């Protein structure tokens, strides 16, 4: 049966009214989390100074510094906890608004899938075949980002429509995926994913289960038992994602739950994308996904997270998962974007 949603306008216009504004809606919990983290960092540095103080004979110089750090770490700690609790206990209900749980019937067949690909010749063929074999999918688009290997011919041979995106970078590639999906298909639902073997078509069923309740169903890889033992997501990235996710969640307190800011795999309703694509910046590179979620929340769109399975990558990694150092850089850029606004950087 083909369930079609009611007119897009009425669905989204109700959410537009829920976009917060004014002093009451400033991200106090986010500021509190930052202050709290600063306090913890000051305290730990102050305590760790014990090592050079005693081992390097710097007691005379470092003792006052250590005392100052440990003593004054109390200020940001207390203020931070106060802001988080104040926002959560005092303002959260008002920030949440009165929007009822969305429950709109959705189209469950004829979906379009768009896959990112950047020199992914080893994985792209099997990924395309996997998605085309899913009964809900009618079309797979692969956006190759100037791949110099056999990514494009392999994707085409597997049955995908292949497009090349000339602007380099993950953000440009994702933006083009979503743009092409809207342009080349009348489908109400677009599935965005990577063609690197880390995500499987079977998880579309999980995303679809939440589609009636959200404008965007975002996959999360931070649910144990759902990721294979040896994936790119190291323990550091697992908890790093969780931390940055909570920063974003605190920024938009009461609007959504976020445990993963780095998953490409997501389901988007057409009308949400039509609103979102003009306001996101494709030049934002590996931190694009966090930028995308931030922009969606700022637009008043409903995001629901959905646990998905995560698998070892086929081929060489080029993204934020290369190693923990790279992940830290991407994570810090995400944090800066969440707090200070998003700046372009193609790396």
Binding footprint of ligand GDP on the chain (CB under 6 A): 116-118, 120, 145, 168-170, 173, 194-196, 232, 286, 313, 317-321
289 binds, among Mg ion, ligand GDP, none (CB under 5 to 8 A by kind): none
CB of 240 to ligand GDP, least distance (A): 13
Q: Which does 120 bind (CB under 5 to 8 A by kind): Mg ion, ligand GDP, none?
A: ligand GDP
What is each CA distance from 98 to 17, 204, 218, 255, in whole angstroms?
11, 30, 22, 11
170 makes contact, choosing from ligand GDP, Mg ion, none, with CB < 5 to 8 Å by partner type, with: ligand GDP
**Minimum separation from the CB atom of position 178 to ligand GDP (A):** 13
Between 252 and 313, whose beta carbon lies closer to ligand GDP?
313
Q: Which residues contact 290 (CB under 8 A, 6 or more apart)?
A: 244, 248, 261, 262, 334, 337, 338
**Which of residues 44 and 316 has its CB atom nearest to ligand GDP in the complex?**
316
Q: Which is nearer to ligand GDP, 122 or 277 (CB)?
A: 122
Minimum distance, C-beta of residue 11 to ligand GDP, in the bound complex (Å)? 30
Are 139 and 112 in contact by the 8 Å Cβ rule? The answer is: yes
Tokens of 141: 């688009």
Number of other residues whose CB lies within 10 A of the CB of residue 133: 11
Identify which of residues 170 and 250 has a Cβ nearer to ligand GDP in the complex. Answer: 170
Residue 162 φ then ψ, to 5°:
-110, 135
Least Å distance between CB 82 and ligand GDP? Answer: 37
Residues near Mg ion (CB under 5 A) are 194, 196, 198
User: Can you tell me which residue has the tokens 């429509």?
Assistant: 161
> Pick from ligand GDP, Mg ion, none: which does 154 bind, CB < 5 to 8 A by kind?
none
Q: Are strands 216-220 and 266-269 parallel, antiparallel or unpaired?
A: antiparallel
Cβ 124 to Mg ion, closest distance in Å? 12
Q: How far apart are CA 268 and CA 217, in angstroms?
A: 7
Residue 171, contacted partner among ligand GDP, Mg ion, none, CB below 5-8 A by kind: none
Q: If you search the block for the tokens 């490409």, which residue do you land on?
A: 264
Contact between 26 and 94 under an 8 Å Cβ cutoff? The reply is no
């Amino acid at each position: 049966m083909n369930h079609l949603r009611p007119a897009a306008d009425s669905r989204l216009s109700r959410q537009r009214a829920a976009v917060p504004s004014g002093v009451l809606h400033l991200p106090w919990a986010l500021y509190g989390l930052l202050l709290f983290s600063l306090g913890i960092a000051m305290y730990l540095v102050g305590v760790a100074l014990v090592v050079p103080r005693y081992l390097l004979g710097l007691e005379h110089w470092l003792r006052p510094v250590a005392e100052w750090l440990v003593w004054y770490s109390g200020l940001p700690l207390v203020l931070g906890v106060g802001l988080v609790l104040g926002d959560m206990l005092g303002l959260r209900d008002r920030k949440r608004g009165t929007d009822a749980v969305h429950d709109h019937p959705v189209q469950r067949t004829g979906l379009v899938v768009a896959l990112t690909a950047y020199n992914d010749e080893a994985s792209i063929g099997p990924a395309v075949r996997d998605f085309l074999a899913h009964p809900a999918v009618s079309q797979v688009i692969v956006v190759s980002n100037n791949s110099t290997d056999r990514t494009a011919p392999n994707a085409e041979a597997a049955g995908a429509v292949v497009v090349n995106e000339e602007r380099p970078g993950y953000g440009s590639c994702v933006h083009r995926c979503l743009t092409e999906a809207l342009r080349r298909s009348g489908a109400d639902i677009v599935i965005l994913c990577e063609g690197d073997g880390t995500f499987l078509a079977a998880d579309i069923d999980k995303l679809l289960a939440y589609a009636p309740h959200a404008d965007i169903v975002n996959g999360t890889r931070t649910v144990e038992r759902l990721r294979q033992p040896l994936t790119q997501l190291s323990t550091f990235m697992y908890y790093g994602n969780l931390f940055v996710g909570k920063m974003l969640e605190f920024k938009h307190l009461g609007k959504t739950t976020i445990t993963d800011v780095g998953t490409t795999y997501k389901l988007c309703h057409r009308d949400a994308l039509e609103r979102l694509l003009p306001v996101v910046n494709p030049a934002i590179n590996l931190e694009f996904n966090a930028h995308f979620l931030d922009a969606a929340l700022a637009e008043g769109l409903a995001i629901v997270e959905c646990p998905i399975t995560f698998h070892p990558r086929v081929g060489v990694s080029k993204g934020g998962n290369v190693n923990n150092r790279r992940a830290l850089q991407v994570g810090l850029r995400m944090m800066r974007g969440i707090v200070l606004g998003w700046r372009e950087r193609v790396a």
